[in-house]
Amino acid sequence: MSGPAFVVTGTDTEIGKTVFAAGLAGALRAHYWKPVQAGLDDGSDRERVAALSGLPASNILPEAYRLTTPCSPHEAAARDGVAIDPARLEPPAIRPLVIEGAGGALVPLTPNILFADVFARWRLPTIIVARTGLGTINHSLLSIEALRSREVPILGVAFVGDANEESERTIARIGGVDRLGRLPFLEPLNSATLANAFAQHFRLEDFR
Distance CA 144, CA 67 (A): 28
Distance CA 208, CA 201 (A): 16
Name the active-site residue from 17, 31, 34, 131: 34
136-149 helix and 165-175 helix, angle to the nearest 10 degrees: 20
Report whether 175 contacts 140 (CB < 8 A): yes
Beta pairing class for 36-38 and 31-33: unpaired
Catalytic site residue 34? yes
Distance CA 38, CA 26 (A): 23
Beta pairing class for 97-104 and 179-183: unpaired
What does 103-125 look like in DSSP terms, one character per residue? EETT-BSSSS-BHHHHHHHHT--
Active site residues: 34
